[in-house]
Amino acid sequence: MLTLTVDNKDKLDDIIITEDTILNIKLDNCSEEINIDVMDNMCLEVFEIDDDTSNEINYNLRSNAQVIVNKLARDNSDVTTVNMSGENASIKYYSNMMNYRDNTYRFVVNHRANYTNSEVYNHCVNFADSEFKFLVDSNIDREAIECFSNQDNEIIDMGNGKNFISPNLIVDNDLINANHSAYIGKFKKDVIFYLQSRGLTEIDCDLLLIKGFLLGKMNLDEKLLEEYTNFIITNFK
């Protein structure tokens, strides 16, 4: 398995995945265009930590390509586009945000080939009174049959933010399976009561729930879990 690391210290070239790869992306305070082309039958796992970015990230998945993206970010206004151009391509995309300023995160997945599979999980904790938007489009072309597309979008509001989710399924085909969901709200009162009844302070509860919400779905090994957790703790205000 090849391991690549990408950061914005140098000029970013297009990335072509020609063997099974782990890609570590660390970007801060930048606005770049990144193109990632995953060739036939290749597996790619991405571990991405971004701080204050508004990048344009484009994935192209060819036949039987399999991609998992584990993204954690603070103040993110990226535009991510995933083109499923080859048959049987699949992607699991976990985007997890900590938000303090006005931001819009846009995600587009285009199913352009048969039997393609996308699972998109967008989670954000909005800490401030700022505005946060998830604009998520899943497009399934008329020619792409027997596709599966799932979107799960959630924003937890810790302050009095203005939050907005637009979870769109644009489907031009009957032979597909598609789901979408959107939730905006606070952590549930009975959950807070349960944790506090075991002696956890309000701050302990918030941190535990935020970590669970942002990292719970991703499959991180011990080292990465520590790195992602440290990012949350550092940015938890």
Partner 1 sequence: MLKIENLSVKIDDRDILKNFEISINDGEVHAIMGPNGTGKSTLSKVIMGSRDYDILSGKIIFNDEDISSLEVDERSRKGIFLSMQSPISIEGVTNSEFLRTALNARTNEPIGLFDFIKTMETSMKELDMKNDIVHKAINEGSSGGERKKNEVLQIKVLKPSFIILDEVDSGLDVDSLRVVCENINKYREENPKTSILIITHYPRILEYIKPDYVHMMVDGKIVKTGDYNFAFEIDKSGYTELVNE
Q: Is residue 174 close enough to count as binding partner 1 by CB under 8 A?
A: no
Q: Is residue 230 close enough to count as binding partner 1 by CB under 8 A?
A: no
* Smallest separation (angstroms) from partner 1 to the CB of 69: 18
Q: Is residue 223 close enough to count as binding partner 1 by CB under 8 A?
A: no
> Which span (97-105, 126-134, 140-148, 208-216) binds partner 1, by CB under 8 A?
208-216
C-beta separation of 182 from 167 below 8 A: yes
Q: Which of 86, 215, 228, 232 binds partner 1 (CB under 8 A)?
A: 215
> Which span (86-94, 103-111, 164-172, 210-218) binds partner 1, by CB under 8 A?
210-218
Residue with token string 């939050």: 163
Q: Is residue 200 close enough to count as binding partner 1 by CB under 8 A?
A: yes
Q: Are strands 90-99 and 66-76 parallel, antiparallel or unpaired?
A: parallel
> Which span (9-17, 28-36, 165-173, 203-211) binds partner 1, by CB under 8 A?
203-211
C-beta separation of 36 from 59 below 8 A: yes
Q: Is residue 175 close enough to count as binding partner 1 by CB under 8 A?
A: no
Q: Is residue 148 close enough to count as binding partner 1 by CB under 8 A?
A: no
- Per DSSP, 85 falls in state -
Q: Which of 143, 204, 219, 234 binds partner 1 (CB under 8 A)?
A: 204
From its phi and psi, is residue 88 left (phi > 0), alpha (psi between -120 and 50) or beta? Answer: left
Q: How many CB atoms lie within 10 A of CB 145?
A: 16
Nearer to partner 1, 65 or 98 (CB): 98
Q: Is residue 224 close enough to count as binding partner 1 by CB under 8 A?
A: no
Q: Which amino acid is at 178?
A: A
In b/e form, how buried is each residue of 72-94, taking b as 16+ CB within 10 angstroms?
A: bbbbbbbbbbbbbbbbbbbbbbb
Q: Is residue 216 close enough to count as binding partner 1 by CB under 8 A?
A: yes
Q: Which amino acid is at 237?
A: K
The encoded tokens of residue 201 equal 């302070």
> Which span (1-9, 20-28, 71-79, 190-198) binds partner 1, by CB under 8 A?
190-198
Residue with token string 């992602």: 228
The encoded tokens of residue 36 equal 């990632």
- # residues near partner 1 by CB under 8 A: 22
Q: Which residues bind partner 1 (CB under 8 A)?
A: 189-191, 193-202, 204, 208-209, 211-213, 215-217
